[in-house]
Amino acid sequence: MKKQDICWMSAADLAEAIKTKKLSPVEVIKTFLERIESVNPEINAYVTVTADSALKEAKKAEKKVIKGGKLGPLHGVPVSIKDMIFTSGVRTTFGSKLLEDFVPDEDAVVVSRLKKAGAIVLGKTNTSEFGFKPLTDNLVFGITRNPWNLEKSCGGSSGGAAASVATGLGPLAVGADGGGSIRIPSSCCGVFGIKPQHGRVPRYPAFSGGELITHEGPITRTVEDAALMLDVIAGYHWGDGYSLPSPVSSFARSLGRGVKGLRVAWSPDLGFATVDPEVKKICERAAKKFFQMGAEVEEAHPGFENPEVHIGNIFGGDAVAALSVLGPVEGFIDKVAPLTAAMLFVSGELKASDYARTLFAKHEMALKSGKFFQKYDLLLTPTVAGPPLPVGSDDPIEFLKWIPFAPVFNFTGQPAASIPAGWTKDGLPVGLQIVGRQYDEYTVFRAAAAFEQASPWTHRKPSPG
């Protein structure tokens, strides 16, 4: 098998090849590390590569295979971790000079569970500063570029994760999503990403802030890989008061059932967004595919109001509170990006009543969604309102117009995924968002897998590398 072929294998296929001794964990990890060394300088997806520890773990994994020991479901499979998620002994900067030298002394739950399942961490992927920006750049590591067009953004804030998967730098990536940060870069990079139900994946330990709206989850090329990954990382943990009990059944086993008979709503704008005509056309065509596959599809939306003010209140209020542990804002404001500085200054004036109104609005939105999903099994929307933005964009008003669809479902907490719906005439990916009812990732996976089979995307590869 050619080394290039190994880098484009799914995690499921890699795990099977390792289990049956067709590939060795050492061979797999060395191959990915070589590709990272070759391709990453152009993309800047990885900001820290843990080559030595990855090879050490690969040798242990290989010995276990040889001895015939019991193997985890992801034994020997490489994974990357967003640089906002704790990794023991490995620098975790949050994309900020304020934490440029921070090295956690323990793994986050998601990391420890992946390791227990046999996955091998290749390193940390780039993010915007504290995940505040829907593009991926920061003052520590610079810009992560879109592999389909290096002058375009890869989205954010889990842009390094999505770009790494899109360029064959690893089949599995962990992202975090507080307002679209898994789904937005997945759309921009032409890969699959799912924000699970809030609390499905425990967040511990974690930098304070965002507990009400942040989700951790998979970014992968295939739907099956994401389901396998979520099977591993989901389930209750005492360190996260919002964490849910373990799922009643495997997400991976929910695949292959098709969408026949499902009641699907399609909304091109959620009633308030302005959408690029080409993006709308591509997503509308994708929605029609669900009808062709046997689902009942009609245009409808839950009647939401644009939540952008409330999103700003939660992000800003949480940021002010979380960063206060580092001292008064005035003491470090010159060390953060302009967007972060502006958010801190504006949010420092928020009143408790402002935050309370936001919580009331959040509850009202969840009620509207709950009522809407009494009638429908799924809701389809564009993932973002336009194609990827140019690198270096820094206008918060432009950002809000570009990402109206994603943050809504951080407010409601329900599962939502982005699948590649198609490509623009300029060769840029466009994502379709699939939203499920509360606690029902199963139907989201089921629908995404059916679409993947009907309109495959994994054969398309960007040119870098």
Main-chain dihedrals φ then ψ at residue 184, nearest 5 degrees: -60, -55
Three-class secondary structure of residue 24 per DSSP? coil
Selecting among 24, 80, 82, 267, the annotated active-site residue is 82
Active site residue 157: yes
String of DSSP letters for 162-201: HHHHHTTS-SEEEEEESSSTTHHHHHHHT-EEEE-STTSS
The Cα-based distances of 333 to 342, 343, 392, 465 in angstroms read 9, 11, 20, 38
Residue 149: what residue type? N
Q: How many alpha carbons fall within 13 Å on the CB side of residue 241?
A: 2
What lies within 8 Å, CB to CB, of 173 at 6+ separation is 79, 80, 81, 82, 125, 158, 161, 162, 164, 165, 218, 219, 220
- Name the active-site residue from 80, 157, 347, 369: 157
Instruction: Check: CB of residue 96 under 8 Å from CB of residue 138.
Output: yes
Q: What is the DSSP letter of 304?
A: P
C-alpha 284/C-alpha 266 separation (Å) is 8
- The terminus-to-terminus CA distance of the chain in angstroms comes to 18
| Catalytic annotation, pick one of 181, 186, 254, 347 | 181
Residues classed as catalytic: 82, 157, 181
